[in-house]
Structure 1
Amino acid sequence: MPGWLDRARQWARTIKRDVIAVWLAARDVRTPMAVRILAAAIAAYALSPIDLIPDFIPVLGYLDDLLIVPLGIVAVVKLIPAPLFAEFRAAASQIAAKPVSRLGMLAVILIWLLAVWLTLMLATDWV
């Protein structure tokens, strides 16, 4: 296998582990509240089957996943003390099944429904 393919697979495994670590950080009381909110938003977006830009849109559909999730993870990692995040990474490595963020999916659906409702209200001058 080419070296770049091995590196890409390793990067994907690292991102998957870090998404789970961010999810754990969002649920841990030792994480500062503002960082917990950011971590919850990043984890919900990464684990949600609903994307900001749908994947069927050429280039942009995958570009948002390649930018938003890694940049969000970097932000959360920088805001959490290194020893604490190392603990989250170790715990994430032990989790066999990928967690499903039903709450995150619900939040994204509610935001989209609110956006559609507001658009309809503004378009029909009901407000």
Structure 2
Amino acid sequence: MDWWQAVLTVGGGVLLLWALLILLLWRARPEDLTVREALRLLPDLVRLVRRVAVDRSLPRGVRVRLWLLLGYLLSPVDLVPDIVPVLGYADDVVVVAVALRWVVRTAGSEALLRAWPGGPAGLAVVLRLAGRGRSRPDVDPDRR
């Protein structure tokens, strides 16, 4: 019985840590960002991360971390499995939001503006995801 108790204890601890990490990631998202809005952006976000990851004008550390992020996004192993409706992809969006905030702090929002593959409304959401809102007065999300 001691063996089963150890397995259950370790398994319970891992599940508790997993739930705590999901909660922390969810709280790190912008408050006014809806899950539906974020999920619609996921394909453009993946293209954005890839474009920024190959931008040689950015520091190597930024690019390496973004390649690791792409690996996580493409990996079948997630914090919340993608087969779970809504939440399966929501954890990916939260992880991308945290990474974009780090990129903006490290390399500036211009890196995102140069690489954005989508429309102006999506750009406004991405800038909110990155914690910048309308970070530059010359960037109008209604015009691009």
Of 59, 72, 86, which aligns to 1:32?
A: 59
Q: Which runs of 5+ in 1 are unaligned?
A: 1-6, 95-127
SS in 1 for 2:58: coil
1:30-85 CA-partner distances (Å, limit 9, x unpaired) = 11101000111112211x142244617979x8374354333223222332222222
Aligned 1:12-91 pairs, distance under 5 A? 12-46=39-73, 48-53=74-79, 55=81, 62=88, 64-89=91-116
Of 118, 124, 130, which aligns to 1:93?
A: 118
Give the structure, 1 or 2, with the largest relative contact order (CA under 8 Å, sep 6 or more): 1
Check 1:10–1:57 CA distance in 2 against 1; reply closer, same or farther (3 A cut): closer
Aligned AA (2:100): I
Check 1:10–1:38 CA distance in 2 against 1; reply closer, same or farther (3 A cut): same
- Conservation of the 8 A alpha-carbon contact between 1:42 and 1:69: yes
Question: Please, what TM-score do these two structures have when normalized by structure 2?
Answer: 0.45
Q: Which runs of 5+ in 2 are unaligned?
A: 1-33, 120-144
Aligned-residue RMSD, C-alpha: 3.0
Question: Please, what TM-score do these two structures have when normalized by structure 1?
Answer: 0.50
Which segments of structure 1 move beyond 6 Å, counting only runs of 4 or more?
A: 56-59
